[in-house]
Amino acid sequence: MLLRVFGATLHVLDGVRVSVEVEAGAGLPAFHIVGQADRIVNESRDRIRAAFRHASLEFPPGRVTVNLAPTGLPKVGSALDLPIAVGVAGTRVELCEERLRGSLFLGELGLDGGLRPVRGVLAMLGAAEGSAIREVIVPSGNLFEASLSPRLAALGADDLGSVLRWLRDGEVLESPSPAPLRSGPTELALDLSDVHGQEN
């Protein structure tokens, strides 16, 4: 079975969309990640296996191959943990295809299946520009940063299981808190005269 999930990586300062293609088939048990993945991305194999065990998820019994496209671009960091894990899980359980096609997944997995914040979320959201992606799923610790994107609806999750239940059953994920309303004029407590050496 072949499944496609969207993630992102950083290339210098810009976010680049990554198509995470997962195929699970017959053969001896193996888990391979191809497509110029750095050491941290390759280490996700161990994090994902442990997260599956703690979340009582069934890992595919045969050969699992993950391709990170475009293959000519180096993939760095742990933000691809979540889309890879979602893709692997989707080969065993039925997930909503419409949500998979319209969502960007970012997040680092802990061994217990929890989601940890990652750096550069706002930059990586630029990877969704000009695409059909409407939502971004991030760790709860990145939710405020992700909500700063005016074009995407940001949703936060604490663990892999919550994301899979959202994809499978429509379970509600965390939404950003509304910005507090300010009443009356705001006063700045500091100005340039407070900066040392700026007396003039």
* Cβ–Cβ under 8 Å, residues 77 and 119: yes
Please write the tens of the pLDDT for every residue from 149-173.
999 999 999 999 999 999 999 999 9
Q: What is the pLDDT of residue 145?
A: 95
Average pLDDT over residues 41-51: 96
Average pLDDT over residues 128-135: 90
- Any idea which of 9-18, 96-105, 185-194 has the lowest mean pLDDT? 185-194
Question: Is the model's pTM score more than 0.85?
Answer: yes
The overall average pLDDT reported for the chain is: 90
6: pLDDT strictly greater than 80: yes
Q: What is the pLDDT of residue 109?
A: 97
Average pLDDT over residues 31-57: 95
Higher local confidence (pLDDT), 184 or 176 = 176
**Which range, 13-17, 58-62, 104-108, has the best average confidence (pLDDT)?**
104-108
Structure tokens at 168: 């499978």
Q: What is the pLDDT of residue 12?
A: 86
